[in-house]
Amino acid sequence: MGDIKMNPNNKFDAIVIGSGISGGFAAMELCTKGYKTLVLERGPMVQHGDYPSAHLDTWDMPNQGKVSKQEVEKHYPKQSRLAWWVNEENKSFINKDDEYPYNEDERFDWIRGHHVGGRSLMWGRHCYRWSDIDFAANAKEGVAVDWPIRYADIEAWYDYVETFVGVSGQAEGLKQVPDGVFLKPFPLNCAEQKFREAIAETYPERVVTPGRVANLSEYNPEVHKGARGQCQNRSRCWRGCPFGAYFSSQSATLPVATETGNLTLRPDSIVMEILYDAESGKASGVRVKDAKTGEVIDYSARIIFCNASTVGTTAILLNSRSETFPNGLGNSSGELGHNIMDHHYGMGAYGELPNHKDDYYQGRKPVGFYIPRFTNIDEQSKRSDYSRGFGYQGQAMRGKNIPDGKIGADLKGEIFKPGGYQVSMTCFGEMLPHHDNRMYLDFEQRDQHGMPIITFDAKLRENEMALREHGVKCAVEMLEAAGCTNVGSYNSLTAPGACIHEMGTARMGRDPKTSVLNKWNQMHDVPNVFVTDGACMTSSGTQNPSITYMALTARAVDYAHNQIQAGKL
């Protein structure tokens, strides 16, 4: 390996591995509390505003925005399995498979981007709180292990995070998705409002509400700090927003952290392992390989936050082997890498909503509607064919008239005539934690940086299959109840990972024998190491998880700070 560089300048109060949704938040919280913090990002630097396609129209890009078949085959054979994913708009933020390989015993669609900000530049921005229906489900059903927390433990942290992030939404008083600190919602358009009213009349337990998203419908510079601004309704969010209208590490947390003078951000830094000191029983620091020079450097810190994403964090922990932990740092339970989950989708329905042809809408709002889970939330909604539930994300839009057989001015004239409203809805289902669903490292194969190859062995199982059937059936029911015509449905089985909500693998729990982390996201075995990205999750819920990661992160930093102040860390 050669000489390892270590000098006094490599010592920090805290190290954060990863700069995405949770890593950025950890960095901000640590820096504002006065800790000299090093943030390590394995990918290149991306400054706020360095978004190459943000102002381009489709016709400004090569191939009308489509990536060529040759480029897909060479660089994106796995990233392009989801036909809608890799394109000229976003490919600068997506890993090339030939540069970042992984293996599969069972198909796993690992969609990721290694760069400063991570997937905070690309996320869907939906923010829904969890409730005790989620936190208590494992214990109630005897599935996996019990969460060591309940809603009351993080309710105040949801308030704190949502206030800073800026979540647009509408209060509905639902126990399965508690109301939060909301900015004004992006309102339903006329067809979506009609859909909401029709569903409420026929299925009052199924609520169609404006999606709750981390886009600033209102901007308050005293609250929304960083480089933020009001949403322009451009619907180009996954390209990066130069207005800072949606929450990202670039627009929000990293600027605030930088202003404190306590942040050191090091891109192109591949974390090889976390170093363990058997004498103290704590981690002493991290070992990093410079992605450009190949130089190996050790950094030390009092506390370490792991936020490299579910898979990235777990790969680092599994590779952090020592005499004390031969199977990975903090892995005395043997659960590290197991219980991987995702939401599953590829199922839903669509139809045409009659009338409203004289109604239109302005702008391209960043979100449509959301239908929260309505099954297995109480005795009245209990199902015998599956456990847990599903929710829907959807929208109503006016179609276009593209007639056959017309050319020139006649074709142009027809295209400019808006068609009727079309309603579509995608069902997102919960995936149960299962010990045999796992990721592991193949130490016999190495990537270009000498790191063992990540390998996936996970699949959807019987409960997920039954849930999918009912999710599609309910979608069709609702469209028909709203009077839609030409209703169609689909149930195209997706592999885990496709929803890009992977979680689990270093779960929280009450017992060190069956879990990796305690109720503070702190390693049972290594008390100065915290995991607050998706790896910490004990079950997957139905809701998009990122706002929960952020709440858990802020809570864990506060706990670590209090422990340090008390002389316990």
Q: List the CATH number of the domain containing 505.
A: 3.50.50.60
- Report whether 22 contacts 46 (CB < 8 A): no
Q: Are residues 486 and 540 in the same domain?
A: no
68, part of any domain: no
pLDDT of residue 361: 79
237, part of any domain: no
Q: Are residues 149 and 276 in the same domain?
A: yes
Range of the domain at 376: 173-211+344-429+461-494
Domain endpoint, select from 475, 494, 513: 494
- Among residues 229, 246, 231, 238, the alpha carbon closest in space to that of 123 is found at 238
Q: Are residues 206 and 283 in the same domain?
A: no
Position 148, amino acid: P
pLDDT of residue 85: 84
Q: In this model, does residue 2 exceed pLDDT 60?
A: no
pLDDT of residue 1: 38
pLDDT in tens, 177-201: 999 999 999 999 999 999 999 999 9
Q: Are residues 153 and 255 in the same domain?
A: yes
- Helix or strand or coil: residue 236? coil
Q: Are residues 13 and 160 in the same domain?
A: yes
Mean pLDDT of 145-154: 98
Percent of the chain with pLDDT over 90: 87
Q: How far apart are CA 248 and CA 198, in angstroms?
A: 36
203, part of any domain: yes
69, part of any domain: no
* pLDDT band of 407, cuts 50, 70, 90: confident
pLDDT in tens, 77-133: 999 898 878 989 888 999 999 999 999 999 999 999 999 999 999 999 999 999 999
pLDDT of residue 310: 98
Residues 6+ apart with CB under 8 A from 382: 375, 376
Q: Are residues 315 and 264 in the same domain?
A: yes
CA distances from 136 to 133, 385, 504, 538, 541 (A): 6, 20, 16, 11, 11
Q: Are residues 128 and 16 in the same domain?
A: yes
Q: Are residues 441 and 514 in the same domain?
A: yes
241, part of any domain: no
Instruction: Please provide the average confidence, as pLDDT, over all residues in the chain.
Output: 95
Q: How far apart are CA 158 and CA 551, in angstroms?
A: 5
Q: In this model, does residue 419 exceed pLDDT 90?
A: no
pLDDT in tens, 299-344: 999 999 999 999 999 999 999 999 999 999 999 999 999 999 999 9
Q: How far apart are CA 38 and CA 32, in angstroms?
A: 13
**What total of structural domains would you count in the chain?**
2
pLDDT in tens, 441-468: 999 999 999 999 999 999 999 999 999 9
559, part of any domain: yes
Give 410 or 520, the one with higher predicted confidence: 520
Q: Are residues 265 and 325 in the same domain?
A: yes
Q: Are residues 367 and 470 in the same domain?
A: yes
* pLDDT band of 529, cuts 50, 70, 90: very high
- Helix or strand or coil: residue 426? strand
Q: Is 322 exposed, middle or buried (0-12, 13-18, 19+ CB in 10 A)?
A: middle
Mean pLDDT of 504-513: 98
pLDDT in tens, 241-282: 999 999 999 999 999 999 999 999 999 999 999 999 999 999
CA distances from 350 to 85, 347, 403 (A): 21, 11, 21
Q: Are residues 422 and 483 in the same domain?
A: yes
Residues 6+ apart with CB under 8 A from 454: 102, 103, 110, 311, 315, 439, 440, 441, 442
- Report whether 282 contacts 301 (CB < 8 A): no
200, part of any domain: yes
Strands (E) located in 430-534: 438-446, 452-457, 485-491, 529-531
Q: Which of 144-158, 314-328, 353-367 has the lowest mean pLDDT?
A: 353-367
Residue whose tokens read 């070992």: 287
Give the rounded distance of the alpha carbon of 304 from its chain centre: 21
